[in-house]
Amino acid sequence: MMLVTTGRVILRNSLFDSCCYRSHLEAKPKSLPVVIDSTLGFHRVLLIFSHLKILGAPGGVMTLFHFGNCFALAYFPYFITYKCSGLSEYNAFWRCVQAGATYLFVQLCKMLFLATFFPTWEGGAGVIDFIGEFMKATVDLADLLGLHLVMSRNAGKGEYKIMVAAMGWATAELVMSRFLPLWVGARGIEFDWKYIQMSFDSNISLVHYIAMAAVVWMFTRYDLPKSFRLPVTVLLALCVYKAFLMELFVHVFMLGSWTLLLVKAVLTGAIALCSLFLFVTLVHSN
Amino acid sequence: MFEEASEVFDNMFKSSFPLTFIVFIPAVLILVSPLPAEAAHEFTVYRMQQYDLQGQPYGTRNAILNTEARTVEAEVLSRRCVIMRLADFSYDKYQKALRQSAGAVVIILPKNMSAMPQDIVQQFMELEPEMLATETIIPVYFAIEDDELLSIYTQTLTSSSSQGSLSAAEVLLHTATANGFQMVTSGAQSKAVSDWAITSVEGRLAGVGGEELPTIVVVAHYDSFGVAPWLSYGADSNGSGVSMLLELSRLFSKLYTYKRTHAAYNLLFFVSGGGKFNYQGTKRWLEDNLDHTDSSLLQDNVAFVLCLDTLGNGDSLYLHVSKPPKEGTPQYSLLKELEMVVGSQYPEVKFSMVHKKINLADDMLAWEHERFGIRRLPAFTLSHLPSHRSAQRSSIMDVRSVPHVDVSKLSRNTKVVAEALARVIYNLTEKVAPGDLQIFTEQMQVQEEHLSAVVEWLTAQPRAAQLVDKDSSFVSTLEYHMGRYLKDVKRHYVKADKRDPEFVFYDQLKQTMNAYRVKPAIFDLLLAVCIAAYLGMMYLAIQNFGLLYSVVRRVTQPKAKVH
């Protein structure tokens, strides 16, 4: 206890010095009060950080720190999942990279297809072309094919195949569609919550792809019981049209960005839980 | 994992070119990506004057701004950008910001200046010269209010005024919810403009009837002045003087086209530049004409020089002289004729003479006629202002709206001057012509629409001396306009001496300012703690995924048996 108090006094002392230095206070108290009020101490720390203006300079340390925050939030769950799911023990890294390459290929095909057959919507701003959006979401069926392709090329247990395909797929998406905006945006002087939201969104999409891979795996099994056909198909459709549904929600209910994120998380969680139920039932039924 | 990765990369680069491409292009893009230019709000700001006159620096000396915004209510202002609205502006607050070594001052002006209460406008007008009187180290900017800027101001106001007596939790909440704004200007540091040429334009109407005719010179300076050059429209000072000069040139050019009305006086019209900077254009013009040439209208037999300054308003006319004219001189007769015309035709106008000696010890000359007075030319200035110190002569509030320029009054004043001049030129003394004889009537009358159009054109763009260069459309339009009525229209340029410049202008007077929404450093640290906690929870959840799995399995097992 003594040690802790002394440490805090020293800490406070040095912090107080820096505080004086930063804010050009003229007089420094000769003796520090012995009794340390925790609130006061906390207040002081806050004050000091609010005086560290040099760190907040544009392109400076603080913006890089903010980027680090977003980066950690976006990437660490992937890393944890990779480590804890045992994929690292299977030497699955190269397979994940392959899955990522497949992702790139599929996205390229989708883009070409969209650019060729879907004219740009020329309606007024704020009006959504529902049919067009629906058709575009239908193109996402190619993702299912891609996932199936990845899984069919890997031999192994079901879980392993699903995890490899989903990890590779989601990571490729993360790198391709989120890293650049984060790097450019979160490092800017301008603060915006959307980079934090984007990082959360990448966590959600990891869950989404794992569930999607599981559903695709179940769907392509020859020994899928008849009673499973319908729920699996419904889940598949939900997976594909999730983005479309979200857009619809935004348009109909005028959702804010945080609410949208919450709705997305809940929806994805529900899909994931359903597919987990189906998966467990299927794996352990025979 | 990393050994694996390096092996993978090795293989990849050796075997497949497209993959290398896919990896390298984003990497290159990432490395070269500049910081984004998009900001919460982008607006144009106008910098306060910066100039040196006779080696004395005036105005703000700095242009670069990159600091967080505060309102003047905040406790600590040092190195902050203090934003104020015109409605709340006072010299005390401005001085408080300067005393506390603020990083910059941004003053937000309302979009519609004429809607402001007159006392605020008047107060600001009085303050403008004081703000410019000494040099200011920090940048001072002016911005025109819009909705975004107003919202930035309000947000800054709430966060500035709510600091202090708060608990730690409130401060925390505040940092998470409130926005700070980082104000950043895009331009470089201001630097002196070298070789800046101030342009003046002259034109003449030659009289007939022998050699050595007396010359009457009519002078008005065209440049405007205010606390910020880009906001100085100078409608009354001296747009009104220039428009009156142009109208006079039109009227007398008509008279001079007919043989019967062609008088024995040369008329010389001079629109001078740099008038707000100690009449630099006039000074050089006089030097050129008196010292450097052999023959000039100014060298021999100048009847008088009439300077027109700020005549677009008011019901009084003052003839400012530095030496009361003696009886028998043309000056004296003009004075008498002005009195006569005003007295007999416009009794509502108060006309008087104001006598002020030239003070050579002063840094600035008071009126333009003093430039001529120094060179011993008989000169006076006509103005509706009783004193040269009047704030209206150097204010950004002097814009084209009714309180500043009233075209009907301007046209009345023009008529007075034209009548008086004509009476002098044609020697229509009281014995010959009664006082209420009107010369400029019917086809010859002063055209109010014409005056109004000229004033409109003059106030369409700011005419500060730093902004009107020799290629500007303003000068060429002016030259064209004078060329329609006058002969021998030519330009005169004045450049400051390289070694010992009399005046130095600086650039970066108009800039784009960005307001970036920022959070304090403590906020990022808090965020880091929250994210760490979240990731910890994630880690635990993934580690214990088996639990969920077994729960699901237990739930589903009975069903599986049924199948």
Which of A80, A162, A277 best probes binding to B when mutated, by most B CB atoms within 10 angstroms?
A80
Q: Is B5 close to A93, i.e. CB distance below 8 A? A: yes
Q: Between chains, do B8 and A184 touch, taking CB under 8 Å as contact?
A: no
- Whether chain A has a CB inside 8 Å of the CB on B64: the answer is no
pLDDT at residue A178 is higher than 90: no
B503 in a domain, yes or no? no
Looking at residue A58, its pLDDT comes to: 46
Whether residue B561 lies inside any domain: the answer is no
How far apart are alpha carbons B371 and B358 in whole angstroms? Answer: 9
pLDDT at position B108 is 93
Residue A76 to residue B535, Cβ atoms within 8 A = yes
Per DSSP, chain B holds a count of helices (H) and strands (E) of: 15, 19
Q: Which of left, alpha, beta for A126 (phi over 0: left; psi -120 to 50: alpha)?
A: left
Q: What pLDDT, on a 0 to 100 scale, did the predictor assign at position B119?
A: 87
> Are A74 and A37 contained in the same domain?
no
> How far does Cα B267 stand from its chain's mean position?
33
Q: What is the mean pLDDT of residues B253-277?
A: 92
Domain identity same for A214 and A80: yes
For chain A, the average pLDDT equals 77
Which residues of chain A are within 8 Å of residue B539 when distances are taken between CB atoms?
A: 80, 84
B28 vs A contacts (CB less than 8 Å): none
Q: Are residues B436 and B351 in the same domain?
A: yes
Same domain, B258 and B280: yes
Distance from CA of B535 to the nearest CA of A (A): 7
Closest partner residue to A101 among B19, B39, B556, by Cβ?
Answer: B19
Name the strand (E) or helix (H) holding B524.
helix B521-543
* pLDDT band at A83; cut points 50, 70, 90: confident
Q: Least CB-CB distance to A190: which of B39, B531, B563?
A: B39
Spatial distance between the Cα atoms of B503 and A133, rounded to a whole number of angstroms: 65
Is pLDDT at B199 greater than 90 in this prediction?
yes
Average pLDDT over residues B339-365: 90
Same domain, B363 and B450: yes
CB atoms near residue B431 (< 10 Å): 6
Residue A214 pLDDT level (bands cut at 50, 70, 90)? very high
Q: Tell whether B460 and B312 lie within a shared domain.
A: yes
The region of weakest confidence among A23-27, A93-97, B91-95 is: A23-27
The region, left, alpha or beta by phi > 0 then psi within -120 to 50, assigned to residue B310 is left
Query: Both A178 and A269 in a single domain?
Result: yes
pLDDT at A42: 44
**Residue B484 lies inside a defined structural domain of this protein:** yes
Nearest CA in chain A to B41: A190
Question: Could you say which of A53, A188, A276 has the minimum Cβ distance to residue B552?
Answer: A276
pLDDT score of B447 more than 80: yes
pLDDT at B175: 67
CB contact under 8 A, B549 and A187: no
Tell me the nearest-neighbour CA distance from B524 into chain A, angstroms.
6
Residues A129 and A30 occupy one common structural domain: no
Least confident window among A268-272, B6-10, B241-245: B6-10
Q: Identify the closest residue of chain A to B553 by CA–CA distance.
A: A280
At residue B210, the pLDDT reads 77
Same domain (yes/no): A123, A18: no
User: Which residues from A are below 8 Å from B552, CB to CB?
Assistant: 276-277, 280
- Give the three-class secondary structure for B212: coil
Quick one: pLDDT at residue A34?
33
Q: State the pLDDT at residue B45.
A: 93
Q: Which of A24, A45, A59 sits opposite B35 (nearest CB)?
A: A59
User: What rounded mean pLDDT belongs to chain B?
Assistant: 86
For residues B531-542, one letter each, b for 16 or more C-beta atoms within 10 angstroms of the residue's C-beta and e for the rest, the string is beebbeebbeee
Q: How far is B133 from chain A (nearest CA, A)?
A: 29
Instruction: Look at residues B463, B395, B390 and name the one whose alpha carbon lies nearest to residue B109.
Output: B395
At residue B297, the pLDDT reads 81
Verify whether the Cβ–Cβ distance B522 to A46 is below 8 Å.
Answer: yes
Query: Nearest residue on chain A to B1, judged by CA atoms?
Result: A88
Helix-helix angle A141-153:A194-219, to 10 degrees: 60
Mean pLDDT to the nearest integer, B258-285: 92
- How far apart are the C-alpha atoms of B251 and B439, rounded to whole Å? 11
Number of other CB atoms surrounding residue B17 within 10 Å: 10
Contact flag B527-A196 (C-beta cutoff 8 Å):
yes
Q: Do A19 and A137 fall within a single domain?
A: no
pLDDT band at B382 (very low <50, low <70, confident <90, very high): very high
Contacts of A42 in chain B (CB under 8 A): 168
| H helices present in B280-365, as ranges | 280-290, 330-345
pLDDT tier at A9, thresholds 50, 70, 90: very low
Token duo for residue B35: 């910081």
- Of residues B155 and A45, more confidence is placed in B155
For residue B239, the enclosing domain spans: 198-495
Q: Which range, of A169-173, B75-79, B166-170, B386-390, averages the lowest pLDDT?
A: B166-170
Give domain status of residue B500, yes or no. no
Name which of A111-120, B21-30, B343-352, B477-486 the model is least confident about.
B21-30
Please tell me whether residues B150 and B285 are part of one structural domain: no
Portion of chain A with pLDDT greater than 90, in percent: 29
Residues B92-119 have a mean pLDDT of 88
A 10 A CB-CB count for B291 gives 10
Predicted local distance difference test score (pLDDT) of residue A39:
40
Residue A15 has pLDDT above 50, yes or no: no
Which residues of chain A lie closer than 8 angstroms to B24, CB-CB?
none
With 90 as the cut, is the pLDDT of residue B537 above it? Answer: yes
Distance CA B124, CA B397 (A): 8
The answer to whether B30 contacts chain A (CB < 8 Å) is: yes
**Confidence band for A25, pLDDT divided at 50, 70 and 90:** very low
User: How far is CA B450 from its chain centroid?
Assistant: 25
CB B229 within 8 A of CB B394: no
| Closest Cβ–Cβ partner in B19, B524, B556 for A69 | B524
pLDDT of residue B215: 92
Partner-chain residue, chosen from A50, A58, A81, that has the shortest CB–CB distance to B184: A58
Confidence (pLDDT) at A19? 35
| Overall average pLDDT of the B266-282 stretch | 93
What does the pLDDT read at residue A192?
82
B295 touches chain A (CB under 8 A): no
Q: Is residue B162 predicted with pLDDT exceeding 60?
A: yes
Range in A168-182, B318-332, B391-405, B455-469 the model is least confident about: B391-405
The answer to whether B35 contacts A187, with C-beta atoms less than 8 Å apart, is yes
Angle between helices A130-139 and A242-253 (to 10 degrees): 160
Regarding whether A44 and A159 lie in a shared domain, the answer is no
pLDDT of A37: 38
Q: Which residue has the higher pLDDT, A86 or A72?
A: A72
Most confident by average pLDDT, A10-24, B16-30, B496-510? B496-510
Q: What is the mean pLDDT of residues A1-24?
A: 36
Residues A22 and A120 in one domain: no
**Are residues A84 and A47 located together in one domain of the fold?**
no
Q: Are A102 and A79 members of one domain?
A: yes
- B157, pLDDT greater than 90: no
Task: Kindly state the DSSP code that residue A186 receives in the 8-state scheme.
Answer: I
CA distance B366 to chain A (A): 45
Alpha-carbon span B545 to B552, nearest angstrom: 11
Residues of B in contact with A55 (CB under 8 A): 521
pLDDT tens for B396-417 read 888 877 667 889 999 999 999 9
Confidence of residue B211 (pLDDT cuts 50, 70, 90): confident
List the single residue in B524, B535, B556 with the smallest CB-CB distance to A66: B524
Structure tokens at B212: 């050595």
- Least Cα separation, residue B159 to chain A (angstroms): 13
Q: Nearest-CA distance from A119 to chain B in Å?
A: 27
Residue A251 confidence (pLDDT): 84
In a domain, B211, yes or no: yes
Residues B119 and B206 in one domain: no
Q: Please report the residues numbered 516 through 555 in chain B whose beta carbons come closer than 8 angstroms to any beta carbon of chain A.
A: 516-522, 524-525, 527-528, 531-532, 534-535, 538-539, 542-543, 545, 548-549, 552-553, 555
Verify that A121 and A250 share a domain, yes or no. yes
Dmax (CA) of chain A: 83
Residue B427 has a pLDDT of 87
pLDDT of B381 > 70? The answer is yes
Q: What is the CA radius of gyration of chain B?
A: 34
If one counts the domains in chain B, the total is: 4
Do both B319 and B224 map to the same domain? yes
Please tell me whether residues A83 and A17 are part of one structural domain.
no
Instruction: Provide, rounded to the nearest whole percent, the portion of chain B with pLDDT above 90.
Output: 47
Q: Amino acid identity of A105?
A: F
**Does A97 have pLDDT greater than 70?**
yes
Asked if A165 and A210 touch (Cβ cutoff 8 Å), the reply is no
Q: Could you tell me if B167 and B80 lie in one domain? A: yes
The per-residue DSSP string of A194-258 comes to HHHHHHHHHHHHHHHHHHHHHHHHHHT-TT--HHHHHHHHHHHHHHHTHHHHHHHHHHHH---HH
A47 pLDDT above the threshold of 70: no
Count of domains for chain A: 2
- Final residue of a structural domain among A32, A51, A70: A51
Asked whether residue B6 is domain-assigned, the answer is yes
Q: Please, what sign has the CA dihedral across residues A91, A92, A98, A100? A: negative
Which of A28, A51, A74 marks a domain boundary? Answer: A51
pLDDT-based confidence at B77, cuts 50/70/90? confident
Nearest residue in chain B measured CA to CA from A183: B30
Q: Measured between CA atoms, how close is A237 to chain B, in angstroms?
A: 23
Minimum distance, in Å, between the CA of residue A263 and any CA atom of chain B: 19
The reply to whether residue B33 touches residue A184, judged by beta carbons under 8 angstroms, is yes
Residue A131 CA to residue B177 CA, distance in Å, equals 39
Does residue A264 contact residue A244 with C-beta atoms inside 8 Å? no
Where is the domain boundary, A51, A67, A84?
A51
B273 inside domain = yes
Considering the domain architecture, whether residues B16 and B72 belong to the same structural domain is answered as no
Inform me whether the pLDDT recorded for A265 exceeds 90: yes
* One domain for residues B20 and B54: no
A189:B516 CB<8 A: yes
Q: Token pair for residue B503?
A: 């005046």
Residue A266: the pLDDT is 94
Beta-bridge partners for B191: none
Separation of CA B296 from chain center: 36
DSSP letters along A19-62, please?
HHHHHT-S---SS--SS--HHHHHHHHHHHHHH-GGGGSTTSHH
pLDDT in tens, B297-320: 888 889 999 999 999 888 999 999
User: What string of H, E and C letters represents the secondary structure of B235-285?
Assistant: HHHHHHHHHHHHHHHHHHHHHHHCCCCCCCCEEEEEEECCCCCCCHHHHHH
Q: Which residue of A51, A178, A218, A281 to mutate against B (max B Cβ within 10 Å)?
A: A281
Contact B553 A280 (CB under 8 A): yes
Q: What gap in Å lies between CA A223 and CA B515, rounded to an integer?
A: 62
pLDDT value at residue B35: 45
> Domain span at residue A47?
2-51
Q: Helix (H, G, I), strand (E, B), or coil: what is residue B70?
A: strand
| Among B184, B525, B556, B561, the residue to mutate for chain A (most A Cβ within 10 A) | B556
Mean pLDDT computed over A146-172: 88
Domain of residue B345, CATH code: 3.40.630
Task: Report yes or no: B148 at the A interface, CB cutoff 8 Å.
Answer: no
Three-state SS for B129-179 is HHHHHCEECCCEEEEECCHHHHHHHHHHHHHHHCCCCCCHHHHHHHHHHCC
Query: Is 90 exceeded by the pLDDT of residue B139?
Result: yes
| Inside any domain, residue B286 | yes
Check B518 against A191: CB less than 8 A apart: yes
Residues 6+ away with beta carbon under 8 Å from B23? B12
- If asked whether residues B355 and B470 sit together in one domain, one would say yes
